[in-house]
Structure 1
Amino acid sequence: MEKPYNLEERTFLFAKDCRFYINKLPKTISNIEDGRQLVRSSGSVGANYIEANEKLGDKDLSFRLKISRKEAKESRYWLRLLQELNPDLKSISEELLLEAEELRKIISAIITKTTKQ
């Protein structure tokens, strides 16, 4: 599947896909709690990226981008944990893990580029 070039849209789709994944998980206590954490972190990737684009200054831009990157890393953590406990949905979680890592790398590259200016 072709991924959108627009990073705001791509982060939105990532958060949406994480929610679809969570809805497929068995309703165990750990899945519910870990799923809640994934909902928060996956949504924060895009929310903080959008806020970075509406920057109040260079420091604010850098700060918001770093939070967005941190949330992508956190999303990977929750996805890994959910994957270990739900191996029957591994194909879905693998795609989400890959996307979380790609988003982290893209955001890292933006941070590097903007701090060198």
Structure 2
Amino acid sequence: MIDMKARTKQFTINSSYLCNKLPTTREFNAYVNQLIRCSSSVGANYRASQRAKSTADFINKLKIVEEEADESSFFLEIILEINKNQDLKFEIEKLLKESNEILAIVEASLKTAKNNLNKK
């Protein structure tokens, strides 16, 4: 079984580590700030979803995780495109793969939760 709470937390941490290695130019700073914000929101909101008070509340919280994971993927794609440091390419690609996997898992969970809600 996948421990999504730990996985989303690790995604947040790994995104932070990557951001620390990127150049401190005006352009990178804008993308780094956005990536830090949305990647940390993935972990925080997934954690909050586990304390949901109802299925509808769970769905609402997971929708935020979905949105923030997708946004993380977007900023990782931008960083990958503008990055000139080949040493970081693999790390960025690995994080991008992880954000897309988290997104897919969350989308599947949302589908299941919505189906369960409709059965009630």
- Alignment TM class, shorter chain as reference: over 0.9
Question: Aligned residue for 1:106?
Answer: 105
- Stretches of structure 1 that go unaligned for 5 or more consecutive residues are none
Give aligned pairs, total: 114
Q: CA deviation at 1:28?
A: 0.7
Q: CA deviation at 1:93?
A: 0.6
Compare 87-96 and 19-28 and name the one that shifted more: 87-96
5 Å matches for 1:44-55? 44-55=41-52
Compare 14-23 and 49-58 and name the one that shifted more: 49-58
Counterpart amino acid of residue 25 in structure 1: L
TM-score (ref. length: structure 1): 0.93
Q: CA deviation at 1:107?
A: 0.5
Counterpart amino acid of residue 65 in structure 2: S
Asked whether 1:76 is paired with 2:73, we answer yes
- Stretches of structure 2 that go unaligned for 5 or more consecutive residues are none
TM-score (ref. length: structure 2): 0.91
Runs of 4+ aligned residues of structure 1 deviating over 2 Å after TM superposition are: none
Q: CA deviation at 1:5?
A: 2.3
% identical aligned pairs: 33
